[in-house]
Amino acid sequence: MKKRICVFASSSNKIDEVYFSEAKEIGNLIVKNGFDFVYGAGSVGTMYASALTAKEQGAKIYGVIPKRLTGIGVDWEDCDEYIVTDCMASRKKKMRELADAFVALPGGFGTLEEILEVITLKQLGYHSKPIVFLNTNDFYSNLFAQFNVFYEMNFARKESENLYYIAKNPKDAIEYIVNYKTPELQTEPFSKWAK
């Protein structure tokens, strides 16, 4: 079975074209590098642009959506596997289970929640999968500045920078995943640090 990359992205159609362009490029590169595609089963925004590109290039698409968002014109039932969950929490859990890697494209509150959760779970040793931010137009730079505040003020370990990768462009993002080496998880030092 092919490995799968989960893409977290925007559901807005009102954003600048550069974000759609990079979303499509990510979809294309996912296929060219032999991966299938996991996402939130939306028919809007960069999440759809990326998934549609991947499907057109031959990827198997796993779309996962909560029941509340079905039947209101924002879902894409043409996924190869269209999975409906009871709620957002079960949706995210299913996406994590399906995925071998995660990429966050520029997005809003939902995208941020999804990527921060997989970072937190990796920090606690629940998984060791690669996590990438695609920092198109320095979209996430203010967030990374806030992360530095966490490290400087001891709200998080400086080593937590190694939990995720900041990619300059789609090619950089996929190359990181392709070349990723699973780190040795260090939950014991974390427990000591927290005290």
Q: What are the pLDDT digits (tens) for 64-109?
A: 999 999 999 999 999 999 999 999 999 999 999 999 999 999 999 9
pLDDT at 73: 93
* Sequence letter at residue 134: L
Average pLDDT, the chain: 95
Of 46, 47, 50, whose CA–CA distance to 19 is shortest?
Answer: 46
CB 4 within 8 A of CB 95: no
- SS3 at position 65: strand
Where do the structural domains in the chain lie, given as residue ranges?
A: 4-194
Beta pairing, strands 131-134 & 4-8:
unpaired
pTM across the whole model: 0.94
Q: Which parts of the chain fold into alpha helices (H)?
A: 17-32, 45-56, 88-98, 109-123, 141-152, 170-178, 187-194
- SS3 at position 165: strand
Fold of 4-194: Rossmann fold (3.40.50)
Q: How confident is the model at residue 181 (pLDDT cuts 50, 70, 90)?
A: very high
pLDDT at 1: 77
